[in-house]
Amino acid sequence: MRYRDFVDLSYRPSDDELICDFFVEPEGISIEEAAGGVAAESSIGTWTELTTEKPYVKRLHATVFEIDRNNIRIAYPTDLFELANMPNILSSIAGNVFGLGALRNLRLNDVHFPAKILGSFKGPRFGVDGVRKVLNVTDRPLLGTIIKPKLGLRTRDHAEVAYEAWSGGCDIVKDDENLSSQRFNIFEDRVIETLERRDRAEEVTGEKKVYMVNVTSETNSMLERAEFVEDHGGRYIMVDVLTCGFAGLQTLRNNDLNLVIHAHRAGHAAFTKDHKHGISMRVIAKVSRIIGVDQLHVGTAVGKMSEKKQEVLENIGALKSEMNGLKVVMPVASGGIHPRLVPALIDIFGEDFIVQAGGGIHGHRDGTAAGAQAMRQAVDAKMKGISLKEYAETHGELRAALEIWS
């Protein structure tokens, strides 16, 4: 089969096929041949005709069924893929095709997974409802922070910063993405000391608190760390899903630990930032949800990250849309957030998300506890329908924050 043989614009995919939406920019060939090349090289074809091709193999070819300028859609028979094997699926639809010399740019914008593939993965164990049950918060966005500075704090100081954040009103404290088990802050010691502070914060505030410790590591080590967290009364773990890999993530999820999985997207912009080439965050969000995370960073639209509102909404949709009964995943807004941005975030995300601020809490001039109070006050003001300016008249921590981040 030649590249053009993989194009059939009269073809109508069945419900049990996997559908990919690509953006394609050819290099020296027509859009039709470029589209066929993507379908061929991501299924059964290659650059030349083969003597080894058998008639039964042709039944497995992918088909380009829609071309709209540079946007193409390709249908893949499910039998091309091994069930419950995300590396295999991604090696096909998001593999060597990105390196084809006949393509100037190629971007995988979306993937629509059929029920047969979705049903072979576990999906989220907790999801939005389970996360809310763990924290016993039902009527507002959840409030989280990241320990700052992201690296360098010794274990005792790390735990103390966590306590200040919890006591000030944060529901969640998490490690940053590159804190692991460095000499200055050994993983096991950090878990024990920080969870002790969590328990004290719960006693003082009367609220449930959680610590998202980063377990990202080699897969066996990651499992051992997750089990350590569970054995010591932790309720959450955090995983850098791209740098540890989807196979490692799936192994972690398949162990059925009673731990909420918080997914950090460290490294995503290497795939997602160029709107003409790479893989969209929407695809990463879907894959993470299918494998089984309960929470995922999706951008902010108003903070320091590059995504615009439409992209963020698409990412949220990937976590919340109907997908063969998979539980809905909690979106996380993080990156350059401070109290002044809270009303806009709630307008974009609704109530079911995590407002997660690092510098916007620890940068408060009166310290971490005051920064957490200011963020909580901003959330409360929005939920009560009161402007931040008016609420700040009787809440000094919020008033100071509005002066700092003017």
Annotated catalytic sites, by residue?
Answer: 148, 264
* Residue 139, CA atoms < 13 Å, CB-side half-sphere: 3
When computed from its CA atoms, the radius of gyration of the chain, rounded to whole angstroms, is 23
Closest by CA position to 176, among listed 212, 213, 150:
150
Torsion of CA 177, 183, 188, 191, to 10 degrees: -50
Q: How far apart are CA 378 and CA 354, in angstroms?
A: 14
Q: How far apart are CA 305 and CA 202, in angstroms?
A: 32
Bond prior to 149 in cis (omega within 30° of 0): yes
Q: How far apart are CA 117 and CA 94, in angstroms?
A: 16
Q: Give the per-residue SS3 of the chain.
A: CCHHHHECCCCCCCCCEEEEEEEEEECCCCHHHHHHHHHHHCCCCCCCCCCCCCHHHHCCCCEEEEEECCEEEEEEEHHHCCCCCHHHHHHHHCCHHHHCCCEEEEEEEEEECCHHHHCCCCCCCCHHHHHHHHHCCCCCCEEEEECCCCCCCCHHHHHHHHHHHHHHCCCEEECCCCCCCCCCCCHHHHHHHHHHHHHHHHHHHCCCCEEEEECCCCHHHHHHHHHHHHHCCCCEEEEEHHHHCHHHHHHHHHCCCCCEEEEECCCCHHHHCCCCCEECHHHHHHHHHHHCCCEEECCCCCCCCCCCHHHHHHHHHHHHCCCCCCCCCEEEEECCCCHHHHHHHHHHHCCCCEEEECHHHHCCCCCHHHHHHHHHHHHHHHHHCCCHHHHHCCCHHHHHHHHHCC
